[in-house]
């Protein structure tokens, strides 16, 4: 596969994630869309680093750090969503609008 194929895959993942994040009302589905968008960025960055400097391991380290940060972010997001659901029985983004104040 070439760099263009990987970037096409990354753009398709990002597009699906963007559609999922903007079209859904469920908090979990919005977070899944955001996770797809982050994965698309990781795929694009890893492919770019692989094709520009394959001998340099810096790109691999950054990808591993990005995946770790994404896993921590999603775990925290789901923990907050679970706590919000247990405290207020809120599972849709419209129902959580009173949290802004």
**Tokens, residue 38:** 């982050």
**Tokens, residue 83:** 């706590």
Q: Judge whether 98 lies within some domain.
A: no
Domain that holds residue 81: 3-92
At 34-70, the pLDDT tens digits run 889 999 999 998 898 888 888 888 878 888 988 898 8
Q: Judge whether 77 lies within some domain.
A: yes
Residue given tokens 């990005």 in the structure block: 66
Q: Judge whether 100 lies within some domain.
A: no
| Measured distance CA(71)–CA(20) in Å, rounded | 19
The candidate with the shortest Cα–Cα distance to 11, out of 43, 33, 34, is 43
3-state SS of the chain: helix, strand, coil percent to 5? 80, 0, 15
CATH value at residue 57? 1.10.287.3510
Q: Judge whether 40 lies within some domain.
A: yes
Q: Judge whether 97 lies within some domain.
A: no
In total, how many domains does the chain have? 1
Q: Please say if the pLDDT value at position 9 is more than 70.
A: yes
Q: Judge whether 69 lies within some domain.
A: yes
């Amino acid at each position: 596969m070439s760099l263009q194929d990987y970037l096409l895959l990354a753009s398709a993942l990002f597009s699906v994630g963007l559609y999922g994040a903007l079209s859904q009302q469920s908090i979990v589905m919005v977070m899944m869309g955001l996770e797809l968008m982050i994965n698309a960025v990781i795929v694009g960055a890893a492919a770019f680093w692989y094709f520009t400097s394959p001998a340099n391991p810096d790109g691999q380290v950054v990808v591993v750090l990005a995946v770790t940060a994404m896993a921590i972010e999603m775990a925290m997001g789901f923990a907050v969503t679970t706590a919000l659901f247990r405290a207020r029985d809120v599972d849709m983004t419209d129902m959580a609008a009173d949290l802004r104040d």
